[in-house]
Amino acid sequence: MNLLLNPFDRRCSRQHDFPEMQGAYPWVGHLPAIVRDLPALLQRAEAMLGNHFWLDFGPAGRMLTCAHPDAFALLRHRDVSSALIGEIAPDLMGGTLVAQDGEAHRRARDAVKSAFLPKGLNQARIGELFASLLKVQVQQWRDMGEVAILRETSDLMLKLIFSLMGIPARDIRQWRRKYKQLLQLIIAPPIDLPGLPLRRGRAARSWIDTRLREFIQDARAHAKRTGLLNDMVGLFDQSGQDLSDDALIANIRLLLLAGHDTTASTMAWIVIELARQPALWEALTEEAQRLGDVPIQQEDLARCPVAEALFRETLRVHPATTLLPRRVLQELPLGGRHIPAGTVLCIPLLHFSRSAHLYEAPEEFRLARWLQRTEPIRPMDMLQFGTGPHVCIGYHLVWLELVQFCIALALVMQKVGVQPRLLSNVEKGRRYYPTAHPSSAIRIGFS
H or E stretch including 328?
strand 324-328
Strand order in the sheet with 146-148: 146-148, 443-446, 420-422
Residue nearest to ligand HEM (CB): 394
Here's the x/- map for ligand HEM, 395-424, by CB under 6 A: it reads as --xx--------------------------
Are the C-beta atoms of 274 and 420 separated by less than 8 Å? yes
Q: How many residues touch ligand HEM (CB under 6 A)?
A: 26
320 scored as a contact of ligand HEM (CB under 6 A): yes
Q: Where are the alpha helices (DSSP H) in 222-302?
A: 228-238, 245-276, 278-291
324 scored as a contact of ligand HEM (CB under 6 A): yes
153 scored as a contact of ligand HEM (CB under 6 A): no
Q: Is 346 annotated as a binding residue?
A: no
What are 422's strand-pairing partners?
A: 444
106 scored as a contact of ligand HEM (CB under 6 A): no
**What is the CA angle 22-329-188, rounded to 5?**
50
* C-alpha closest to that of 165 among 233, 92, 93, 246: 233
* Residue from 51, 153, 230, 321 in contact with ligand HEM (CB under 6 A): 321
What whole-number distance in Å separates Cα of residue 276 and Cα of residue 427? 13
386 scored as a contact of ligand HEM (CB under 6 A): yes
Instruction: Please identify, using beta-carbon distances, which residue of 200 and 351 lies nearer to ligand HEM.
Output: 351
The angle, 0 to 180 degrees and rounded to 10, between the axes of the packed helices 126-144 and 149-165 is 150
Stretch touching ligand HEM by CB under 6 A, among 146-154, 297-305, 383-391, 424-432: 383-391
Min. distance of Cβ 25 from ligand HEM in angstroms? 27
384 scored as a contact of ligand HEM (CB under 6 A): yes
* Residue from 271, 392, 411, 422 in contact with ligand HEM (CB under 6 A): 392
What whole-number distance in Å separates Cα of residue 26 and Cα of residue 56? 10
Instruction: Please identify, using beta-carbon distances, which residue of 65 and 82 lies nearer to ligand HEM.
Output: 82
SS3 103: helix
Residue 409 Cα distances to 116, 129, 139, 378, angstroms? 24, 16, 8, 29
97 scored as a contact of ligand HEM (CB under 6 A): yes
262 scored as a contact of ligand HEM (CB under 6 A): yes
Known binding site: residues?
392
Chain residues that interact with ligand HEM, rule: CB under 6 A: 75, 82, 97-98, 109, 161, 254-255, 258-259, 262-263, 266, 315, 320-321, 324, 384-386, 390, 392-394, 397-398
Known binding site for heme: residues?
392
